[in-house]
């Protein structure tokens, strides 16, 4: 009898705990599954001077109970390699995709949020301090999936204009 009461109590506690968790946004993450898997790109970097070309790679997978897409990135330009980590999910309360970008060139995360419209995922950052840039910068990352490839564009806002920083097309490898 004591065992039955213990089992019932554990099941009730587990059920109560699981009811307090937000549901995993499966459909919303499936809509951006083009960010999953391995991909390579030839990227163009335009950080205020002459454009430079270099390779880029990413590997995306579901993590943390399937609640997030985690993508590990590397890109190289002029012999310097930068590593990045992107965590992206969907916040049902905000009805927005939300993400955090970390990379080896800056000490803090960049928080972004945005929407998926007509196959275009657009994420806008909160203003953030970045090495080599005066003041705080607002960044916009845009992903367009078409024919098994993903076009990527990273821009920063200067005044009323958006300035390209990184552009390229990723192909699954």
Q: pLDDT tens for residues 65-112?
A: 999 999 999 999 888 899 999 999 999 999 999 999 999 988 889 999
Residue 5 within any structural domain of the chain? no
Residue 98 within any structural domain of the chain? yes
Q: Given pLDDT bands bounded at 50, 70 and 90, which one contains residue 47? A: confident
Q: Given pLDDT bands bounded at 50, 70 and 90, which one contains residue 1? A: low
Look up the domain containing 95 and give its range. Answer: 26-172
What pLDDT is recorded for position 35? 96
Residue 66 within any structural domain of the chain? yes
Residue 19 within any structural domain of the chain? no
**Total domains present in the chain:** 1
Q: Rounded to an integer, what distance in angstroms lies between the CA atom of residue 152 and that of residue 155? A: 10
Please state the pTM of the whole predicted model. 0.84
Helix (H, G, I), strand (E, B) or coil at 162: strand
Q: Rounded to an integer, what distance in angstroms lies between the CA atom of residue 164 and that of residue 125? A: 15
Residue 121 within any structural domain of the chain? yes
What pLDDT is recorded for position 8? 45
Q: Given pLDDT bands bounded at 50, 70 and 90, which one contains residue 143? A: very high
Residue 2 within any structural domain of the chain? no
Residue 67 within any structural domain of the chain? yes
Residue 159 within any structural domain of the chain? yes
- CATH number assigned to the domain comprising residue 78: 2.40.128.20
């Amino acid at each position: 009898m004591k065992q039955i009461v213990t089992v019932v109590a554990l099941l009730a506690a587990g059920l109560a705990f699981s009811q307090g968790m937000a549901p995993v946004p499966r459909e919303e993450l499936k809509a951006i599954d083009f960010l999953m898997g391995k991909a390579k790109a030839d990227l163009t970097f335009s950080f205020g001077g002459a454009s430079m070309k270099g390779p880029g790679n990413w590997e995306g997978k579901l993590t943390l109970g399937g609640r997030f897409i985690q993508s590990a990135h590397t890109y190289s330009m002029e012999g310097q390699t930068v590593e990045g980590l992107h965590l992206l999910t969907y916040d049902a309360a905000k009805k927005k995709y939300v993400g955090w970008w970390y990379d080896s060139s800056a000490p803090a995360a960049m928080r972004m949020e945005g929407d998926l419209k007509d196959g275009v995922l657009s994420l806008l950052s909160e203003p953030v301090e970045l090495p080599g840039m005066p003041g705080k910068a607002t960044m916009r990352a845009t992903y367009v999936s078409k024919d098994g490839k993903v076009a990527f564009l990273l821009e920063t806002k200067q005044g009323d204009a958006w300035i390209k920083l990184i552009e390229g097309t990723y192909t699954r490898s």
